[in-house]
A and B are shown apart, each in its own frame.
Chain A
Amino acid sequence: MSAAQRILILTGILLLGSTMAFGVYYALFDEHQTLVGMGVSMATGFAEAAKGDMVAAHASLDAYAAISAEYRSEVHAHGHWGMLSLVLIVLGISFKRLAWSEQQGLRLAWVLALSAALFPLGVLLQIGPAADIGKLLTVPASLGMVLGLLAVVWGLVRKA
């Protein structure tokens, strides 16, 4: 196993184990409460409108939108870590098929591994006090993933 393969496969397995553990923690301690909060906020929006209090109705709908965004970020972080870790492992196994030198391959592996780890982290951070850092992280990380993958396709085509 080359150094680039080790980086991709070990990072992939680490991310898989971590995102599974995160999924279990989230399902046990957060998901149910978040979903109930979403439902109650939206229902309260309609109930307050029925009472004629449109300001309270809008406030409840704002709360619904905020909880909904939080839920989306948490589920997306879990799902993206899972999917990107699979991509890392698959690319790690196929890495010998790419027409890149050892040094280029090593750089490509680091770009892919860091992007796969940091992109979902950026998504997750967007729901907390570090939302701006989260947004800043997602841009280079998603760019790194896309460019890294295009480099893989180019490496495959060159070899073929």
Chain B
Amino acid sequence: MVNTESQPNSGTNPLAMDVQRVYVFGGLLLIAAGMLFGDIFAMFILHPNNARIGEAMFAASQLVPEGDVDGIMAHFGAIGGFLENRGTKVDAHSHAIHVGYIALLLAILQPWAFLSSGTRKFCAWLFTICAFLLPVSIFMIHYVGLAYSPWAFIGWASVLADLTGGLLALVMFIQLWGLWQGRDGNTSALTDRFGSGGEGASKVLLLGGCLLLACGFLYGVGYAAWLQSGTAVAELDILKPMVEHAAASQQDLLAQDFANYGNYQMYKAINVAAHTHINEMGILLLLLSFVQGLIAYGEAARRRWAMAAAIGAVFLPVGILLEIPYGFVGSVIADTAGFVVIISLLAMLKGLFAQSGSAGGQS
């Protein structure tokens, strides 16, 4: 077992070790790429895809009075494809960001994980490679399908996604083992302040992140309580009248049912997206607060990018919620806020690269 005493400053600088740099740069790239993909997905794919699902469902309902069962099944087969297209993109977006967050946390925790340098390096590269392959393979599931697969229910892209997910879990258990081994051995204080300077920027991000997380949890609790209260419309209360009105060819009532169903889906999607984005932005701000001292900018520039990240993080979920009353305007606010966060993230990444380069030059 090797501890980190041979790695100077590794406890106060998460870029001190090679493996920490692998985690940090991999993590930041994954977060930025995942957020950019989410913005592109929301703008160009999500809304047209939802419209296609609604159209196919309406077309199926029009075949009910004619008793065309094969036609109905064909339309629902198409809906399955649209749902898979949407689901895999949402999953690719969220998994890229989450594994990026985990990579940053593993970078910070490395000095407290008692692992040999070979195991440490192996874990860092295995984690980073799998962390990139996981969202890419999830994205590919819809396009690869069952091509060349020997199994009737799972394609090669799914197999790759499961394999990389399993390897990521393995790395986590190795890290847990290392942290457990080192629980009493390393008595140095675990800190969230790395490098020097950037206290103002760090405080903005820390408080903003904690407040966002508290708001995200309260929002989730409130939404769940509303769903359980019985005042929220249940999906079945729309679907059952829908098939009855379709069978009776009552087109006016059927149109009203589809309008209600569209609203139901919209409320559900927006509420879930707002809840998850508040929490994810909260975590991101907290993570960014840790590394402000390592960014090679002056205090004013650090504070400016921190403020930009915090403002973007607040307005992203606000924009998502504004989609309920204002539709497209809300989407524009959310996407713009998302871009502001991405730009501030890339600016901080550039500052980290500059710091890392200068540290490498000195050594």
Return the contact of A97 from the options B83, B173, B206, B220 (Cβ within 8 A). Answer: B206
Check if B337 is an interface residue, CB within 8 A of chain A: no
B192-A97 in contact (CB<8A): yes
Check if B244 is an interface residue, CB within 8 A of chain A: yes
Given contacts A43-B76, A94-B286, A146-B221, contact A13 B210 (CB under 8 A): no
Grouping DSSP codes into helix (H, G, I), strand (E, B) and loop, the B interface class, with mixed when no group exceeds half, is: helix
A20-B221 in contact (CB<8A): no
Q: Give Cα A13 to B183, complex, Å.
A: 13
Return the contact of B239 from the options A27, A54, A61, A152 (Cβ within 8 A). Answer: A61
Closest CB in chain A relative to B107 CB, distance in Å: 11
Number of interface residues of A (CB under 8 A): 63
**What chain A residues lie within 8 Å of B283 (beta carbons)?**
83, 86-87, 90
Interface residues on B, range: 35 or more
A68-B235 in contact (CB<8A): yes
A54-B72 in contact (CB<8A): no
A46-B210 in contact (CB<8A): no
Q: Give Cα A68 to B214, complex, Å.
A: 29
Closest CB in chain A relative to B286 CB, distance in Å: 5
What residues of chain A have their CB less than 8 Å away from a CB belonging to chain B?
Answer: 1-2, 5-6, 9-10, 13-14, 16-18, 20-21, 23-24, 27-28, 32-33, 35-36, 39, 42-43, 45-47, 49-52, 54, 57-58, 61-62, 64-65, 68, 79, 82-83, 86-87, 89-90, 92-97, 142-143, 145-146, 149-150, 152-153, 156-157, 160
Closest CB in chain A relative to B221 CB, distance in Å: 5
Given contacts A10-B176, A50-B247, A160-B207, contact A90 B287 (CB under 8 A): yes
Return the contact of B166 from the options A9, A21, A35 (Cβ within 8 A). Answer: A21
Q: Give Cα A150 to B192, complex, Å.
A: 20
B154-A20 in contact (CB<8A): no
Known: A32-B154, A49-B247, A97-B192. 6 other contacts (CB 8 A): A13-B109, A13-B179, A24-B169, A43-B72, A50-B66, A146-B214
Return the contact of B179 from the options A9, A21, A43 (Cβ within 8 A). Answer: A9
Check if B45 is an interface residue, CB within 8 A of chain A: no
Given contacts A39-B76, A146-B214, contact A50 B172 (CB under 8 A): no
Check if B96 is an interface residue, CB within 8 A of chain A: no
B183-A6 in contact (CB<8A): yes
Q: Which residue of A is nearest B203, CB measured?
A: A160
B247-A39 in contact (CB<8A): no
**What chain A residues lie within 8 Å of B289 (beta carbons)?**
94
A61-B243 in contact (CB<8A): yes
Given contacts A9-B109, A149-B214, contact A57 B180 (CB under 8 A): no
Q: Give Cα A89 to B217, complex, Å.
A: 17
**What chain B residues lie within 8 Å of A58 (beta carbons)?**
240, 243
A-B pairs with beta carbons under 8 Å apart, 14 shown? A1-B186, A2-B189, A9-B112, A14-B176, A50-B65, A65-B236, A90-B287, A94-B286, A96-B191, A149-B210, A156-B207, A157-B207, A160-B203, A160-B207
Q: Give Cα A93 to B286, complex, Å.
A: 10
Q: Give Cα A22 to B138, complex, Å.
A: 16
A20-B168 in contact (CB<8A): yes
Q: Give Cα A82 to B91, complex, Å.
A: 13
